[in-house]
Amino acid sequence: MATTMRASSLDFSRRSLWTQLGALPWGLILLICAMAMIGVAILHSATFTNPEEAGLPIRHATRFGVALGVLLVAGLVPLKWWFWAAWPSYLATLVLLVAVEFFGFTGGGAQRWVQIGPVGVQPSEFMKVTLTLALAAYYHKRWNDFSGGFVIHLPALALIALPAALIFRQPDFGTTLALFASGGMMIFLAGLWWRVIMAIGVAAVASIPAIYFFVLQDYQRERVDTYVAQLTGQSVNVMDDGYQIEQAKIAIGSGGWTGKGYMEGTQSQLDYIPEQHTDFILTVLAEEFGFLVTSGVLILWMVILGLGLAIALRAASLFARFAAAGAVATVAFYILFNVAMVLGLVPVVGVPLPLLSYGGTVMITTAGCFGLICAAHLGRNEPLNTGA
């Protein structure tokens, strides 16, 4: 182990830090910066009527500055280090999740936080990155031990289900879904048989009633009810749960092709929409800039995710491929679920829009994911056949 450490630091110093920096996927990083700046601009519009929220755009920019630092540092970390860290970090996060169960404190109605020294952290957010790492390391190492078949995926499923169960208990339905979605995507990439996928799909649909009645909490059930009601066009009680989604639809729909103009959105400026600077930030964009710009922002996201996926496809090692693809899937899940939620297509589950929503946690998770993608880019030629 000691010798490999020295080898890797040698490896690191062989190519200077500047060369490494220059080799980062700068096109991708610049697009990410552009997306964050769009976020600052929309936040300015969303918050400027309320003096109590006056500092939010600046803080958003500051947070992005920090996140960018995290991204670059994480990107420059040699891929080998990521690989070694995969299992320890997964286990550590799991321990933290158990700690939340026993010692955690409550924030925003759910028990998600645990105190480490002076800072409160949300282990469930770490898990999004460390699960990706663990699954990537798992498939990287075990690929040749199985001659194909279904059995290889069972431990992977366990890796997902263990933290997912703990997070579901907090309760945090959004993150649970996110873990299953991005982890499931990695299992899919690892070649899970189609007939198994079909079977799971059928089983999932069949279990919806059971989940609805026995697993969901009351407030989660209400959200689903509201969602179904507004989707089927029933008159929702606009005073209660349906209010937010109804107001969001009015804001988006009244935007038209080109929107009402920057800081001119009546819905947004009059504070109709709760959470409009966090989860519902897209409503401000849609109302003030209209369909063209909003779909443009979505397309920009597709480009960013596409670039990330391209890195995954070009990497030599299975670890790099799975890690980068898993990171892309994690961010993609955020975006797709958030947009679908704001557009009234899925129930309101608190999922923010990366780089656009105001919020520190999602910013750092996003930075971690893209940092991992950058590391996979820099280490794309490394075979990583350690101990295999």
Residues in the chain, how many? Answer: 388
Q: Residues of 252-290 as b/e, b for ≥16 C-beta within 10 angstroms? A: beebeeebbeeeebebbbeebbebbbbbbbbbbbbbbbb
Phi, psi of 81 (to 5 degrees): -60, -45
**φ, ψ of residue 287 in degrees (nearest 5):** -75, -40
Among 73, 116, 198, 313, binds another protein (CB under 8 A): 313
Look-up of token digits 């996927």: 25
β partners of residue 110: 107
Please identify, using beta-carbon distances, which residue of 70 and 305 lies nearer to another protein: 305
Reported as half-sphere exposure (CB side, CA atoms, 13 A), residue 385 has a value of 4
> Rounded to an integer, what distance in angstroms lies between the CA atom of residue 250 and that of residue 269?
13
By CB under 8 A, is residue 257 in contact with another protein? yes
Tell me whether residue 17 or residue 302 sits nearer to another protein (CB atom): 302
Query: What would the two tokens of residue 14 be?
Result: 């062989």
Cα angle, residue 241 at apex, residues 240 and 245 outer, rounded to 5° = 115
Choosing from 28, 177, 329, 351, the residue that interacts with another protein (CB under 8 A) is: 329
Task: Report d(CA 324, CA 226) in Å as an integer.
Answer: 36
- What's the one-letter identity of residue 123? P
Q: Applying CB under 8 A, does 364 fall inside the site for another protein?
A: no
Q: Binder to another protein among 74, 133, 325, 351 (CB under 8 A)? A: 325
CA angle 241, 220, 203 (to 5 degrees): 130
Residues 83 and 151 sit within 8 Å (Cβ to Cβ): no
Comparing CB distances to another protein, the nearer of 332 and 364 is 332
| The one among 10, 52, 154, 195 contacting another protein by CB under 8 A | 52
Complex with another protein: residue 25 or 255, whichever CB lies closer: 255
Return the range that interacts with another protein (CB under 8 A); candidates 3-11, 80-88, 110-118, 294-302: 294-302
Work out whether 55 is an interface residue with another protein (CB under 8 A): no
**Gap between the terminal Cα atoms of the chain:** 15
With CB under 8 A as the contact rule, the residue among 57, 123, 290, 371 that binds another protein is 290
Q: Does 295 bind another protein (CB under 8 A)?
A: yes
Residue 53 corresponds to which tokens in the numbers above?
């929220």
Give yes or no for residue 127 binding another protein (CB under 8 A).
no
Closer by beta carbon to another protein, 213 or else 257: 257
The nearer residue to another protein, 97 or 273, going by C-beta atoms, is 273
Q: Residue for token digits 């925003």?
A: 108
CA 157 – CA 187 distance, rounded (Å) = 8
Q: How far apart are CA 304 and CA 296, in angstroms?
A: 12
Token pair of 160 as six digits: 């997902």
301 sits near another protein (criterion: CB under 8 A): yes
Asked if 173 is part of the footprint of another protein (rule: CB under 8 A), the reply reads no
Q: What are phi and psi of 230, to 5 degrees?
A: -70, -25
Please state the closest distance from residue 384 (CB atom) to another protein, in A: 8
- Cβ proximity to another protein: between 12 and 291 the closer is 291
Enumerate residues 138-157 that contact another protein by CB under 8 A.
143-144, 147-148
Residue number with CB closer to another protein (29 or 286): 286
Q: Any contact of residue 256 with another protein (CB under 8 A)?
A: yes
Task: Find the shortest distance in angstroms from Cβ 53 to another protein.
Answer: 10
Q: Which amino acid is at 102?
A: F
Site string for another protein, 174-193 (x = CB under 8 A): -----------x--xxxx--
Residue 74 · residue 375 · CB < 8 Å: yes
Binding mask 222-241 for another protein (x = CB under 8 A): -----------------x--
List of residues contacting another protein (CB under 8 A): 52, 143-144, 147-148, 185, 188-191, 239, 247, 249-257, 266-267, 270-272, 286, 290-291, 294-295, 298-299, 301-302, 305-306, 309, 312-313, 316-318, 321, 325, 329, 332, 336, 339-340, 343, 345, 383-385, 388
